[in-house]
Structure 1
């Protein structure tokens, strides 16, 4: 029999967390709550409901909470992550773990959008979601319909591959990139989500911008050809074009200034350096992935 653990990152969730734990316990062998610096009675309620509780003395972010949870669940065969605010339905846990138990997946992503746009998703959320989906899929090379989902299942095999360098909510995208880089099999299953219980205090716009910036930063290593080589090529073309214009003026006897000429030369050299940097990093990345 496979042992399954559910990880619940929690920050001031005393109202909803008790019922979520009790419902999760019907589907898994152990529920692990990471109290990420809560100032309410989240830990006490979680313990009364029968969960193992790990406490952070201060709020460190969802990525840090998941890292603690994964370390605590390393002896389990399957690990499920689920939000503790009652947005996710614990009764759907068997749907997420089934592909792993059947040997068809290493990571299972719960998605609201497999069959199209969820009509219950607020419009402003879906616009931002599409941008983050495109950026995450571009960075990872995957084709995931709901990249920001916190409802996921992981095989024991997959656990060592996650970095958890991102401490905040950008960890959802980071984990997909890590899974892709490790060559793990990622599949999606359809889930439902409740929005009438969303207790998030984060501004969705600023939150989305921070996650997007983190994804772009990750492209430096995951997609160096696009991050370095393409911009470098554009800079080279601009520099070369300016250089040709100045050369034409010189040959025609038109007076030219040394300042703009030097700028054109520097642009060409800098762009060339960026291009080769991207090519070298891409080659190194390919070699590392082949040696895994």
Structure 2
């Protein structure tokens, strides 16, 4: 069974057209109405979709979680997730699904950056590139668009991936889980429309939030470079400052309490980071050995 899943929040202007076009390329369309206050749910039903409604707005990631849970319940062979705001073209669903089947990969991502004629606004492109670089650092593969919400998943991927993030950072969380599970991945070029209002969130705080959450996931997978190396540097700097303070004290030279406090803070912070790195590295190793 081929399912198309559409996370939707107040998308009454576009959801009907998206559902109708998606039905041409799937056995069933499931819309997760994430606490909309408009007619999104009713229009989606009238257009032929199965609608799952959240009582209140929980976030894009919560809708993705619901779609994965439903796909497992339906024993779906393929789950394609597409945005409900009109950014993605449902007519390109076969492009992802055919790539998934013909190349026998587990996940296919529709990337807006594989072709040079991308219409993505400059500020958005730069932000996505930064987030993508962070996600690639934590993965065993490289992608060009870590924030794309247009993706197809195989049965194996559906059963293996269990997202937990309720916000927009679910996209990068899924990428890191694909890497952790050893799933295969491919990208295909897609077109994206930025006509009209396609996001209800301000791009700067939204981008910072996604980047911080991405770094959180990456730091857990790679604790040594994220915590260990900075910790060692701080310990060394603190030790050098401590030696200089002690030498000045023993030789009855002028000493500054501020330098002593800086020494203590740097050394303790470095030690905490080093211990954190060791603990996270040990936990990650144990999890990998048991999985």
TM-score with structure 2 setting the length: 0.91
1:77 aligns with 2:77: yes
Aligned equivalent of 1:42: 40
**Superposition map of 1:211-250 within 5 A:** 211-250=210-249
Shift of 1:123: 1.1
Aligned equivalent of 1:108: 108
Per-residue CA deviation, residues 37-56 of structure 1 (Å, 9 max, x unaligned), is: 11111111111111111011
Q: Distance in 1 between matches of 2:118 and 2:81?
A: 24
Per-residue CA deviation, residues 191-225 of structure 1 (Å, 9 max, x unaligned), is: 11111144322111111111111112223312211
State the Cα RMSD in Å. Answer: 2.0
Contact 2:86 2:198 in 1 (8 A): no
SS in 2 for 1:115: coil
Contact 2:16 2:44 in 1 (8 A): yes
| Range 214-223 or range 122-131, more displaced | 214-223
Q: Distance in 2 between matches of 1:163 and 1:70?
A: 7
Shift of 1:238: 1.3
Per-residue CA deviation, residues 129-159 of structure 1 (Å, 9 max, x unaligned), is: 1111112212334311011100001112112
Q: Distance in 1 between matches of 2:180 and 2:167?
A: 21
Q: Distance in 1 between matches of 2:269 and 2:208?
A: 29
Per-residue CA deviation, residues 2-53 of structure 1 (Å, 9 max, x unaligned), is: x210000111111111111111111111100001111111111111111111
- For structure 1, list consecutive stretches of 5 or more residues without a partner in the other structure: none
| Range 146-155 or range 265-274, more displaced | 265-274
CA pair 278-200 structure 1, distance change in 2 beyond 3 A = same
Aligned residues: 289
Aligned equivalent of 1:169: 168
Shift of 1:244: 2.1
Aligned equivalent of 1:207: 206
SS in 1 for 2:212: helix
Aligned equivalent of 1:30: 28
CA pair 266-56 structure 1, distance change in 2 beyond 3 A = closer
CA pair 249-120 structure 1, distance change in 2 beyond 3 A = same
Shift of 1:251: 4.8
CA pair 16-269 structure 1, distance change in 2 beyond 3 A = closer
Q: Distance in 2 between matches of 1:258 and 1:113?
A: 54
SS in 1 for 2:138: helix
Contact 1:87 1:198 in 2 (8 A): no
Q: Distance in 2 between matches of 1:129 and 1:270?
A: 31
Shift of 1:273: 4.0
| Range 238-247 or range 270-279, more displaced | 270-279
TM-score with structure 1 setting the length: 0.91
Aligned equivalent of 2:182: 183
CA pair 196-258 structure 1, distance change in 2 beyond 3 A = closer
CA pair 256-153 structure 1, distance change in 2 beyond 3 A = same
1:21 aligns with 2:19: yes
Contact 1:224 1:282 in 2 (8 A): yes
1:57 equivalent among 36, 40, 55: 55
